[in-house]
Chain A
Amino acid sequence: MVNAWIVASLAAVVGGAVGFFVVMRGASFVAHAIPNGSFAGAAGATLVGASTIAGLGIFSVGGALGIGLLGRRGRRDVATALTLVFMLGLGALFLSLSAESSEAAYSLLFGEVLGISANEIVPTLALAVASLIVLGLLWRPLLLDSVLPERSSGRRLLAVDLAFLLLVAMTTTMTVPVVGTTLIFTLMIAPAAAARALTARPGVALALSSAVALVTVWGAIALSYTTNWPVGFFVGALGACAYAASHAAARSGDGGPGRTAGRG
């Protein structure tokens, strides 16, 4: 239980922080596609008997590169969709070949936070620290390119974009065992979108996003523990509540910082 608490908290802090840029860059679809597609990596790892983390890592990085490179020519959303469904198709194949039980598929897709063991803490901590360091290093270029992409040269834009995608991949690898491939996404979008509605300052928004994610995860684990319902359900539900509440709060406070007059 304590293990679950520690690992989930790490996942929430990093997910919330990376999520800030996901929302800034309008990359929700990517943030959904990389974790969801990495599901195939875990299924493949079981098939060949490798470690799940390695499978997740390889597939999430592969997905990130696929989206970044395919998206250079043609539409980003199409590239993302096709990369995702291709990885999912592989996942379906691996699952059917390994005759894996559907409970195992379920826990990969929707997480099994209460089954986390103590020896997962160290690798998760290492990945969390690494993600936050990369985020710190990329802070200014990411912020600049998210706001004013026209200002940068094409090559630099691609480099920053790939670095961002790899950051999402790294977060994915560490978070999948906790909330499952589908709900990391909620952890990245809802808290960041909520934070953005409440403050106009980037640093504060990032911290707020992590905090909201943390509260969401803690609440979800506690509720899941008492009701025995899946933790993913509560992460999704609480995330949506945080989003709705922050938007209601922002609307009542003179239109909120995120709103503009929309003329021009």
Chain B
Amino acid sequence: MQALLHAIVEPGFFADGAVQTAAALGGVVAVVAGLIGVFTVIRSQAFAGHALSDIGSAGGSSAYLIGLAPLWGFVGISVLAAAAMERIGVQRARGRDVATGVVLGVGFALASLFLYLGMTYHNASGEIPTILFGSVFTLSASDLPLVMGLGAVALLVVLTLYRPLLLASVSPELAAARGVRVRLVGGAYLLALAITVALCDLTIGAILSTALLVGPAAAALRLTGRPHRAALLAAGISLACTWLGLLLAWDSFYWPPLRHGWPVSFFIVTLVLIAYLAAGALARGQTKRG
């Protein structure tokens, strides 16, 4: 038993302080992303979520430039970008992907500028891979309260709006006829999404964070037709992918031939994709039998 465990988990995994911090932070973010992501997928806002995270890279790099912690950059710019998308109509079905695209283009432009300035004036090139691809191992335990606080805010928004948000996601018309202020509810949700995306940016990096947001939720939606269950399942899948990804990244230090650690984000993203494909196969198997 001990030998088997050692074969799967390389020594030192559970004892390492960085791993414990990463597991706690990654776990919080994974659960929040899974729960919030269900609505992102139902509302077909995967592109908006992805754009927010990409734009987050501009925030991360600008925060570095002015000497702030990247998290504030991520949160600040994601919320700003969400507001801009709301203004130019991300909630309308028609033309919203163009609106998202234009905001994203501006975000990229800023990111390229800030990264360039960072490299030129601060010799910050070591930070770029962290901002773009993230590394949960570089976070410190002192980040935990802040991450948990922001995650709680996002969850609180979605739990408070749960019923009107679900109704408006099924049909904005139906919700409006019941007196729901559809645009207000959608805007509040976009805010929760921006916060969630910023948290994902921190753990698996600005350009990969969509994986945690969209993948587990989409996999869960294939497996269950009940809204509560889908949310819980998505959180579970997200958590499993994150922790397994951490374990594999730890193990990869010992893998031949390089004996060079592989990026955590790579494992998390790959596991998420596998979960999505497996959920699809499982769902198809069920319908064939049923």
Contacts and interface: CB of A to CB of B under 8 A. Distances in A.
Contact of A77 (B46, B101, B111, B280): B46
A78 B41 CA distance: 7
A32 B104 contact: yes
A230 B105 contact: no
Nearest to A83: B273
Contact of A89 (B97, B112, B113, B266): B266
B218 A78 contact: yes
A233 B208 contact: no
Given A92-B266, A102-B126, 12 more contacts: A28-B97, A29-B50, A74-B222, A80-B46, A81-B49, A81-B214, A96-B261, A102-B128, A103-B119, A189-B102, A230-B113, A237-B109
Contacts of B218: 74-75, 78, 82
Chain A interface category by residue count: 35 or more
Interface string A228-250: 01101111110110010000000
A214 to B, nearest CB: 17
A109 to B, nearest CB: 7
Interface in B249-288: 258, 260-263, 265-266, 268-270, 272-273, 276, 280
Contact of B205 (A80, A92, A229): A92
B108 interface: yes
Interface size class of B (residues with CB under 8 A): 35 or more
Interface of B: 41, 44, 46-47, 49-51, 54, 97-98, 100-102, 104-106, 108-113, 115-116, 119, 125-126, 128-129, 132-133, 205, 207-208, 210-211, 214-215, 218, 222, 258, 260-263, 265-266, 268-270, 272-273, 276, 280
A146 B108 CA distance: 28
B43 to A, nearest CB: 10
Contacts of A84: 50, 210
Nearest to A90: B266
Contact of B112 (A31, A86, A182): A182
A12 interface: no
Interface string A74-111: 11011011101110111011011100011101100110
A236 B106 contact: yes
Contacts of B109: 183, 186, 232-237, 240
Contacts, number: 184
A60 B113 CA distance: 25
A73 interface: yes
Nearest to A74: B280
Given A82-B218, A189-B102, A230 B112 contact: yes
A32 B101 contact: yes
Nearest to B214: A81
A36 interface: yes
Contact of B262 (A36, A93, A240): A93
A211 interface: no
6 contacts: A81-B46, A84-B50, A95-B133, A182-B108, A183-B112, A189-B101
B269 A88 contact: yes
Nearest to A78: B218
B106 A92 contact: no
Given A74-B218, A74-B280, A105-B129, A240 B270 contact: no
A164 interface: no
Given A193-B98, A240-B102, A81 B270 contact: no
